[in-house]
Amino acid sequence: MRKAVGIGGLRRKEAERLALSKKGNELAQREIEKLQEHIGVMKTHLETFVREHQRDIRNNPVFRVQVQRMCQLIGVDPLASRKGYMAELLGVGDFYCELGIQIIDICRATRSVNGGLMSIDELRERLIRRRLKGSEPVVNDDIKRAISQLAPLKGGYRIVDFGGRKMVQSVAREMNADMSTVLGLAQQTSKFTADDVSVQLGWDSDRINACVDDMLRSGIVWVDYQNINIPEYWVPAFFSQLSGASLSASAL
């Protein structure tokens, strides 16, 4: 018959468990300290690297994005403060502030046309045309970072995704699931009809009409009555040709 473990045995096992736990905590703490030390060294090297390559960082958008990603990997956010040392070294504080202001101006100027929804590629093209000759080049990653800095303004500026297509939303509204689904359906042709939605999504007429009415009220879609029997609904945010001659003067 197996002998029961006595009080003394239980105490020894508990003491062993506590000793192992303490040892484990000590080892973990030493590892954390070593990691913090390594990160500190990496930050120092990164500062030196940034100082030596400031001109390239400002003038080469691809290189700028790579350096910013290096910063993120070691827990440095160069945009956490416009007066932060890394933002100062990178020269990005004023750059993203200026870019954010230009984004706001363009979005406001085109809102009556696109309902506050614009492809990120079209926005980049408009920014390039607007910025002074010799200004730092702009890439989509720059736009995303600048928009992230606009969040405190509560203006609804954010990046949304429709079937892998990045769009900039510049109005403070929540787009419901039905609107997002229909926009995803229209992204290839820039338009749709009630029949398209019915056939491809299997919705009834009440649901389609409610969704279309919401989109018309918000200005996201235009309606074309050339075919009286089957009106077509166009999404101006999906056809970049609207940013050509007819709109460029008024928007920029």
pLDDT range class, residue 210, cuts 50, 70, 90? very high
| Mean predicted confidence (pLDDT) in 12-19 | 76
* Distances in whole angstroms, Cα of residue 141 to Cα of each of 27, 61, 166: 40, 9, 11
Q: How far apart are CA 9 and CA 202, in angstroms?
A: 70
Q: What pTM did the predictor assign?
A: 0.58
User: Taking the mean position of all CA atoms in its chain, how far away is CA 142?
Assistant: 10
| pLDDT of 243 higher than 50 | no
Per-residue model confidence (pLDDT) at position 124:
92
Backbone angles phi, psi at 43, to 5 degrees: -65, -40
- 166 falls in which pLDDT band (50, 70, 90)? confident
Please state, as a whole number, how many other Cβ atoms lie within 10 Å of the Cβ of residue 99.
23
Give the model's confidence band at 184: pLDDT under 50 very low, under 70 low, under 90 confident, else very high.
confident
| Distance (Å, whole) CA 27 – CA 205 | 66
* Per-residue pLDDT tens over the stretch 16-34: 777 777 777 777 777 777 7
By the 8 A CB rule, do 156 and 170 touch?
A: yes
Give the tens place of pLDDT for each residue, 59-92: 777 777 777 777 766 666 554 434 444 555 555 5
Cα 202 to chain centroid, rounded = 32
Region of 134 on the Ramachandran plot (φ > 0 left; ψ -120 to 50 alpha; else beta): left
